[in-house]
Amino acid sequence: MSRRIMSGAAMLALATGTLVTGGTSPAMAGTLPSCVNLGWAPGVDSVSVDNTCGYDVNAKVLVNNWSDSDCHTVKAHTTWRYEWYFLGDFDGVVTC
């Protein structure tokens, strides 16, 4: 599981430079706090947003060729999972 989380975090770090150009307004896009971990791996059509922070975090999953998630409040110490159809490609998670 920690390997998947690290993989998702690495993907987020690589994708961060392209998130704003992918259609998200700079005023809306934000970097997740370090206490939020992602569970995602290439070829998997879902992402888990694990909030280990002591406070709630608003997150939005970005997916190419599919609908992005709505802005979702991930309560402190909980995990939220977003799934999409196999044609979509994970493009990152931002605050909203």
- The pTM for the full model equals 0.68
d(CA 54, CA 56) in angstroms, rounded, equals: 7
Confidence of residue 4 (pLDDT cuts 50, 70, 90): very low
pLDDT at 11: 46
Closest by alpha carbon to 46, among 76, 20, 22, 66?
A: 66
pLDDT per residue over 16-35, tens digit each? 332 322 333 334 468 999 99
Q: Does 96 score more than 50 pLDDT? A: yes
Pairing of strands 78-83, 46-51: antiparallel
pLDDT per residue over 50-67, tens digit each? 999 999 999 999 999 999
Closest by alpha carbon to 24, among 32, 16, 35?
A: 16
